[in-house]
Amino acid sequence: MRFFIDTASRDEIRTAQDMGLVDGVTTNPSLMAREAAPWQEVAAEICSLVPGPVSLEVLALDTEGMVNEARDLVRFGPNVVIKVPMTADGLKAVRILHSMHIDTNVTLVFSATQALLAAKAGATYDSPFVGRLDDAGHNGMEIIHEIRTIFDTYAFSTQILAASIRSPLHVRDAALAGAHVATIPFAILTRLMRHPLTDVGIELFLRDWKARHGADT
């Protein structure tokens, strides 16, 4: 499974890169709005920082507007992936962008049938929002299983990008369900490596070492 970091913070991206945990980045207008710098500056720097895919989202809601925005966004770098909403106009835009050899990420997917439509349109990624489904009283992770079954049955090349990750358990379950990618907030990414028994083990090893060698150090 590949890890994308879900952020527009350059500092978070650099830190995650230093840990060797970043395969790509996903952004959205809300994340961009949190940054002090102009979004164009942020987008350009992120694309230069990360060799992997960087999802930049369109704001237009009509097909023509999405395609026009996509033409501008891909100028930030060859690794740009155009993020479009799961709508009829969005699917039309995906089909057009696919014909232009521009990668796309269909966002706000909440059902396996929506994911199927995205794949048929030629999406590079589809992003089921597992956390938001959980919030609405559904089993968000079940959608990953359903989509994977459909994609494998019909040999779609579209990759499942598990989004709206809220906990390390979401990451584990998405991996078990066969998601190709999980896009993870920085706070969750850092929690993946933690376990209280790891901390206890380190403390025990250091205590035993100091008990035997403390006088010599």
Please report the DSSP string for 45-71 in residue order: HHHHH-SS-EEEE----SHHHHHHHHH
Q: Where residue 30 falls among pLDDT bands split at 50, 70, 90?
A: very high
Residue 78's pLDDT band (boundaries 50, 70, 90)?
A: very high
- Rounded Cα–Cα distance for residues 149 and 102 (Å): 26
Banded model confidence at residue 73, pLDDT cuts 50, 70, 90: very high
Query: Which of these ranges, 36-40, 111-115, 192-196, has the smallest mean pLDDT?
Result: 192-196
Q: 6, 39, 1: which is closest to 107 by C-alpha?
A: 6
Output the pLDDT for position 216: 57
Domain at 2-216: CATH architecture = Alpha-Beta Barrel (3.20)
77-109: buried (b, 16+ CB within 10 Å) or exposed (e) per residue? bebbbbbbbbbebbbbbbebbeeeebbbbbbbb
The fraction of the chain above a pLDDT of 70, given in percent, is: 99
Instruction: Tell me the C-alpha to C-alpha distance, in Å, between residue 12 and each of 42, 43, 85, 129.
Output: 13, 14, 25, 22
210 labelled catalytic: no
Residue spans of the domains in the chain: they are 2-216
Reported as a single tens digit per residue, the pLDDT across 139-150 is 999 999 999 999
- 141-183 pLDDT, tens digit per residue, is 999 999 999 999 999 999 999 999 999 999 999 999 999 999 9
The pTM of the full predicted model, rounded to 2 decimals, is: 0.92
- E-state strands within the chain: 2-6, 24-26, 54-57, 80-85, 104-109, 125-128, 159-162, 181-184
Among 83, 92, 120, 210, the one annotated catalytic: 83
